[in-house]
């Protein structure tokens, strides 16, 4: 049985990219299923879908849980810190990324051999936005 989208993971709607995660699931699953059906790969390829998207779902759940707790903190220290950050944002630039960290709009960058794999820098791993690069008379992003 293979699950994708909300049937595999339900993310808090408070900033949680559940729909985006579902699309990434079917993207990661579709090409693998096509390769297996066409006989170009063995069914073992589907196991990588599980590893890849469990990693992506865990990341979404972590980020959306943090974002939900920021919006509705527990009473006590959590609310105290949240309110202090909100008060600071009006006058201190360094506090603004604490409100909008950008995590929810960053792509999921997959570990290659495991979360601490040093083999590839983060910006050239699967899932990362390709870094810009110079061409003969232009830049990759402008081509």
Ligand X SMILES: Cc1cc2nc3c(=O)[nH]c(=O)nc-3n(C[C@H](O)[C@H](O)[C@H](O)COP(=O)(O)OP(=O)(O)OC[C@H]3O[C@@H](n4cnc5c(N)ncnc54)[C@H](O)[C@@H]3O)c2cc1C
| Cβ distance to ligand X smaller for residue 18 or 73 | 18
Q: What minimum distance in Å lies between the beta carbon of 117 and ligand X?
A: 28
Q: Quick check: 20 binds ligand X (CB under 6 A)?
A: yes
| 133-141: long-range pairs with CB below 8 Å, 24+ | none
Q: Quick check: 18 binds ligand X (CB under 6 A)?
A: yes
Q: What minimum distance in Å lies between the beta carbon of 142 and ligand X?
A: 29
Restricting to residues 22-41, name those near ligand X by CB under 6 A: 22
What's the rounded Cα separation, in Å, for the pair 137 and 61? Answer: 43
Residue from 3, 19, 129, 135 touching ligand X (CB under 6 A): that is 19
Locate 14 and state its tokens. 């408070």
DSSP codes, 86-98 = HHHHTT-GGGHHH
Which residue in the shown chain puts its C-beta closest to ligand X?
Answer: 5
Q: How many Cα atoms within 13 Å fall on the side-chain side of residue 129?
A: 6
Residue from 3, 6, 30, 86 touching ligand X (CB under 6 A): that is 6
What dihedral do alpha carbons 129, 130, 134, 139 form, nearest 10°?
-50
Q: Quick check: 73 binds ligand X (CB under 6 A)?
A: no
What's the rounded Cα separation, in Å, for the pair 54 and 110? Answer: 11
Q: Which stretch binds ligand X (CB under 6 A): 11-19, 64-72, 81-89, 112-120?
A: 11-19
Q: What minimum distance in Å lies between the beta carbon of 81 and ligand X?
A: 26
What's the rounded Cα separation, in Å, for the pair 24 and 27? Answer: 5
Binding site for ligand X (CB under 6 A): 5-6, 13, 17-20, 22
């Amino acid at each position: 049985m293979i699950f994708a989208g909300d049937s595999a993971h339900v993310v808090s709607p408070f900033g949680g990219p559940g729909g985006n995660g579902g699309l990434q699931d079917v993207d990661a699953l579709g090409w693998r299923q096509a390769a297996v059906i066409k006989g170009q790969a063995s069914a073992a390829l589907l196991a990588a879908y599980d590893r890849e998207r469990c990693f992506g779902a865990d990341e979404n759940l972590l980020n959306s849980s943090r974002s939900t707790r920021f919006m509705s903190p527990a009473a006590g220290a959590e609310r105290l810190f949240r309110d202090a950050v909100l008060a600071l944002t009006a006058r201190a630039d360094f506090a603004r990324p604490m409100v909008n960290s950008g995590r929810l709009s960053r792509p999921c960058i997959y570990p290659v051999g495991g979360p601490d794999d040093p083999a590839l820098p983060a910006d050239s791993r699967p899932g990362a936005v390709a870094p810009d690069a110079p061409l003969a008379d232009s830049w990759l992003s402008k081509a």
